């Protein structure tokens, strides 16, 4: 059965291909970005910021790009508004991400920093306030986000930040870049065209339980956080995302028969710490599921409770994992008799028009 959210999920391969073509085209935005990132011999300190899904995408790429040698941090725009100007390094570059380009906190931060630190806007709306205030813009051009959960912007931002990091590191190769994105989109289409038994089973489980924890390992905190946000937006459940390490330090006390724990980013080789967390959750009566790289987790979680993503690049892994969670949460919303993608409450804060949400009448 179709839904607004499912339509947006299915649109992602084509949207990502169009984004990659635009970033790699003859009018690539890198020409305007390059002077901002090469103001000194040393690599700049890059600050990634946003709110909601835009921030979560930044969080995932911060971890990946830091491993590659970039100096960067990811913080919510609301947090940066409380920081003094002296916190920013003299050669810092701020990258503000906002689907609408009207996110209140991101726009307010950009106004405050304008003229003192270069701000790069990554936005789906080129005519937005953020795009007009920023020193340079990376346009996502992903099409209108019809769902309250901006799934295309989440995966598109992952792609755009990876492209930006490759450029700053001097590793960008246009042919290799396009080939990687094309391979990713082929895999996404395969996932979308075939049966989705894991998403069906997990969706039913989420619909039948009141407490949802998305537990991450490695760089998958981004997809865990996006999964928990979508859970709130689609089902209205008080879902939470947390690292596997944090789960051990208190939150396990809240795990019980009404809980579903979804472990993201499970490594190919089983590790004892995560196995123990799964067993503890199961011992307390919780249902446990996982998205991982190795079949070995099936013996720990159960035959139908693991989705295996074959070996691929870290960027592709994050996008594929996000897609699997998106499909699962759409199924959960459908199982509850909801309209996935339609907001039941005012849920987003923008400048200019105040509060705005996708209402059932739109």
pLDDT in tens, 79-128: 999 998 888 888 899 999 999 999 999 999 999 999 899 999 999 999 99
pLDDT at residue 39 in the model: 66
Instruction: Write down which residue in 192, 207, 228 finishes a domain.
Output: 192
The pLDDT > 70 percentage for the chain reads 93
CA pair distance 349, 52, nearest whole angstrom: 11
Q: What is the CATH number of the domain that holds 129?
A: 3.40.50.10490
pLDDT at residue 210 in the model: 92
pLDDT band at 345 (very low <50, low <70, confident <90, very high): low
Instruction: Write down which residue in 161, 192, 223 finishes a domain.
Output: 192
**Does the pLDDT value for residue 326 go beyond 70?**
yes
Strand-pair category, 136-139 with 119-123: parallel
pLDDT at residue 145 in the model: 83
CB 228 within 8 A of CB 212: yes
> Does 341 map to a domain?
no
Q: What average pLDDT does the segment 269-283 reach?
A: 94
pTM for the whole structure? 0.92
Q: Considering only CA atoms, which of 315, 130, 113, 291 is closest in space to residue 219?
A: 315
pLDDT band at 362 (very low <50, low <70, confident <90, very high): very low
CB 214 within 8 A of CB 206: no
Asked whether residue 204 falls in the same domain as residue 167, the answer is: no
Q: What average pLDDT does the segment 39-51 reach?
A: 81
pLDDT at residue 357 in the model: 42
Q: Which residue has the higher pLDDT, 123 or 43?
A: 123
Asked whether residue 61 falls in the same domain as residue 22, the answer is: yes
pLDDT at residue 361 in the model: 32
CB 219 within 8 A of CB 60: yes
Asked whether residue 121 falls in the same domain as residue 232, the answer is: no
> Does 175 map to a domain?
yes
**Does the pLDDT value for residue 133 go beyond 50?**
yes
Asked whether residue 200 falls in the same domain as residue 184, the answer is: no
> Does 253 map to a domain?
yes
Asked whether residue 187 falls in the same domain as residue 105, the answer is: yes
Strand partners, 212: 260
69-100 burial, b if ≥16 CB within 10 A, otherwise e?
ebebebbbbbebeeeeeeebeebbbbbbbbbb
The pLDDT > 90 percentage for the chain reads 73
Asked whether residue 122 falls in the same domain as residue 212, the answer is: no
Q: Which domain holds residue 226?
A: 196-335
**How does pLDDT run across 161-207, given as a tens digit for each residue?**
999 999 998 899 999 999 999 999 999 999 999 888 999 999 999 99
> Does 23 map to a domain?
yes
Asked whether residue 168 falls in the same domain as residue 129, the answer is: yes
């Amino acid at each position: 059965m179709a839904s607004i959210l499912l339509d947006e999920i299915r649109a992602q391969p084509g949207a990502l291909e169009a984004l990659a073509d635009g970033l790699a085209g003859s009018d690539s935005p890198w020409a305007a970005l390059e002077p901002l990132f090469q103001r000194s011999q040393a690599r700049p300190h890059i600050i990634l910021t946003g709110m909601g899904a835009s921030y979560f995408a930044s969080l995932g790429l911060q971890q990946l790009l830091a491993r590659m040698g970039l100096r960067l941090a990811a913080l919510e725009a609301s947090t940066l508004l409380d920081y003094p100007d002296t916190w920013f390094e003299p050669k810092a570059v701020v990258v503000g991400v906002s689907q609408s380009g009207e996110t209140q906190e991101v726009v307010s931060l950009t106004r405050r920093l304008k003229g003192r630190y270069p701000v790069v806007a990554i936005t789906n709306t080129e005519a937005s306030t953020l795009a007009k205030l920023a020193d340079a813009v990376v346009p996502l051009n992903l099409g209108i986000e019809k769902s309250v959960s901006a799934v295309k912007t989440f995966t598109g931002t992952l792609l755009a930040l990876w492209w930006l990091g490759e450029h700053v590191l001097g590793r960008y190769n246009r042919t290799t870049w396009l080939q990687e994105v094309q391979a990713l989109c082929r895999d996404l289409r395969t996932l979308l065209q075939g049966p989705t038994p894991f998403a069906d089973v997990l969706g039913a489980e989420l619909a039948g339980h009141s407490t949802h924890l998305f537990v991450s390992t490695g760089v998958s905190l981004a997809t865990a956080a996006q999964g928990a946000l979508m859970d709130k937006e689609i089902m209205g459940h008080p879902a939470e995302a947390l690292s596997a390490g944090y789960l051990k330090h208190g939150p396990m006390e809240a795990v019980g028969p009404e809980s579903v724990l979804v472990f993201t980013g499970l490594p190919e080789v089983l590790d004892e710490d995560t196995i123990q967390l799964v067993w503890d959750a199961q011992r307390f009566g919780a249902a446990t599921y996982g998205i991982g790289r190795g079949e070995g987790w099936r013996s720990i979680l159960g035959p139908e409770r693991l989705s295996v993503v074959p070996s691929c690049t870290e960027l592709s892994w994050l996008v594929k994992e996000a897609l699997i969670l998106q499909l699962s949460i759409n199924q959960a919303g459908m199982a509850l008799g909801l309209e996935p993608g339609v907001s039941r409450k005012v849920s987003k804060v923008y400048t200019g028009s105040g509060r705005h949400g996708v209402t059932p009448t739109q």
